Each structure stands twice: as C-alpha cells, then as structure tokens.
Amino acid sequence: MNWLVDLIPSDLSTELGQKPSVLCLCSAQQKFLIFSEKSDTPAFVMQPGSESMLQNLKKITSELHFFLPDRIPAPLTIVTDQRRENYLLQRGIVGIPWFTLSQRIGKEFSWDEIVDLSIDALEVFHATTASNNAWTKKISLSRDFSELYRQGTASSEAHLYQDEAIKNYCLNVLAEFAPTICYLQHGDLSVNNFLFRKDSVGIVDFEQFGRAYLPLHDEFLLVDSLIQLQHSPSPEFVKTLWSKILAASRYSYLSSSEVINILLLMHIMWWLGEAEGKERRADRRKQYLQALQHGLSIVSKKPSDFVANLLLMISTNNQTTAS
C-alpha cells in the first residue's frame, strides 16, 4: 500500500522521511493511516470515496477545523490514483483510538476519565454547531415522527408500525412542543470516532454530519458506545451513565418530559432506516429491532427508566426490559 504515499503532494510527503508506513483501518469507512518513520501518530489520513462525497466532507471538516483546530483533523486536498479513485488527504491528529481503549481503562485512563472526556467532547462539539446559524434550523418533532413512521411502514419491518393507537399517543405528546430550533448532530458521535488524550478528545468521521437534527441523537449514540466498553453493565449503571450525559446536554430541559422517550424511539427508527440492507450491521439491527418493538409496546404506559433500559437493550444482547 505504499503506492498511496506517492499520491501525497511532494511538499507534504517530505514530512514522512525515508521509510513511511501505511495501515489500512477497516471500520464503517475504510481509511489509510500514513505514518512517518519516527512517529506512532499518523502524519496523514487518506479516505477513499466519490469526488462529490469527498468534496462535501472536505468542506464540512474545513469549517469544523476552523472552530476546533485541536480536535478536528485539517483536510488538505483530494488526490486521484491511476484507477481514477479519489482520496481525501487529511492531517493526522494525536490520540488513542477506540480499538485499543478497552485495554487502557484502569491503566492510562480511569472509567470516569473516559466518560468525562467523552462528555466534554459532546459539549464542545454541540456548542460549536449550535452557534453557527448555517447549522441550525427549526423542526417539527411531530412532523418528523410522522415521516419516520411512514418510512417504517414501507420498510421490511412494516409490521412494527401498524398500531394507530401508539402512533397517535406519540403524536399527541409531540404536539405539545412548538417547532424547535435544533442544530446539526455529528451523526455518529461515539467513542469509535474519538481519539483520547489526557486533556481532551479528538473527533473524526463526519460522513453522517448534517443527516440528522433530531434532538439527543448524538447523546443516544454516545451512551450506547460507552455501554459497549463495559462487560455485563447493569441497569443501574446505564441509568447513572445516561443521567450524567443528559445533564450535560443542551437538551437537558427535556429530562422530565415524556417526549424524551419518543425521541429515543425516533432515534431507533432513524438508525434502522440508515442501516437497512447493510450486511455488516445485521446483528446490531436485530438488537435495534427488538428494542423498537418493545419500546413501542410500552411507551404509552410511561414506564420509569424507559430510556436507560431501552438503551441497555440496544447495547447488549441480554433481555433486560424497559419496565
């Protein structure tokens, strides 16, 4: 894969020394990490994709990097290989990736440090997007619920969306909220897309940025990813973790409202729509489907700890119920 190094402009490739190395990282989006001969931190990151997708990604990350230069990698240029495949070239940033994080808990980082750094990243990122008028818009929660429900009836899980009484209950709750000013979510704000340092967290992977304005979308994703770092988390553990993340959220004012339960159902519906037909997400879809089916069946009963227990169902394979 060293042929990738040859695509890097000469004024940048001189930073790599005589013996650069390349690591292919296969996650949701394939990436190539380019290391200089004397560093454990990648000097550059290259991401393949269509030209239009990469141009959009370059624009987004350029704007975010301007506001958060220590946390967001700087996009440099788009390069093309002999097969006419395109790559976005970005600066690498310092930090410990998710796939080595679980081995470091209790050694380099305590669990509380991981949680606090993650919450800090959430707060800083949302403060940035919320302050930019171009990244905010007014949305109607009831209209968005209706659209997600409509999409569900046209999906392979249409049988889950047949109860008109449940639909009407959710719409009645959401109708109490006037159109709300919301800000763009990262779309995949999880520890998988964090690079941990002792004093802060770098944030990467913005392919989903701009696809969701739904309140608490990022918060649900973050707590899900943190739960997965634990072995056999208890309902009480998840409740405490969720409470801590919600308290730091710009949407914390929803904490005592029924609407928060429906927002989680909407988040699950959105995720299922995004993941439909993607084989690598098949196992996770089973968990989301189980959670959606159970959540829809009990949401009108207003159960206590609905959100925490449903998040536990999403994040683990156990049969904990939100009762």
Long-range CB pairs of 57-62, under 8 A, 24+ apart, other chains included: 57/88, 57/206, 57/207, 58/88, 60/206, 60/209, 60/210, 61/90, 61/206
Query: What does the pLDDT average to over 261-271?
Result: 96
**Does 318 have pLDDT greater than 60?**
no
What CATH class is the domain 98-315? Answer: alpha beta
**pTM confidence score:** 0.93
How far apart, in whole angstroms, are the C-alpha atoms of residue 180 and residue 138?
5
Compute the distance between CA of residue 48 and CA of residue 31 in angstroms, rounded to an integer: 7
Q: How big is the CA angle at 216 (ends 212 and 220), to the nearest 5 degrees?
A: 100
Give the confidence band of 30 by pLDDT, cuts at 50, 70, 90. Answer: confident
- Return the SS3 of 254: helix
Say what the pLDDT of residue 317 is. 55
* Domain 2-91, CATH among 3.40.50, 3.30.200, 2.30.31, 1.10.150: 3.30.200
Count of beta carbons in the 10 Å neighbourhood of residue 31: 20
For 213-246, write each residue's pLDDT tens digit: 899 999 999 999 999 998 889 999 999 999 999 9
3-class DSSP state for residue 19? coil
Calpha distance 75→94 (Å, rounded): 15
**How far is 289 from 205, CA to CA, in rounded Å?**
25
Q: For residue 130, with 0-12 CB atoms within 10 Å meaning exposed, 13-18 middle and 19 or more buried, which class applies? A: middle
pLDDT for 156 equals: 87
pLDDT of the residue at 320: 43
Structure confidence at residue 103 as a pLDDT band (50, 70, 90): confident
Report pLDDT digits (tens) over 277-315. 888 888 889 999 999 999 999 999 999 899 999 999 998
CB proximity list for 83: less than 8 A, separation 6 or greater: none
Residue ranges of the domains in the chain? 2-91, 98-315
pLDDT in tens, 119-153: 999 999 999 999 999 999 999 999 999 999 999 99
By the 8 A CB rule, do 135 and 129 touch? Answer: yes
User: Predicted confidence band at 323 (pLDDT cuts at 50, 70, 90)?
Assistant: very low
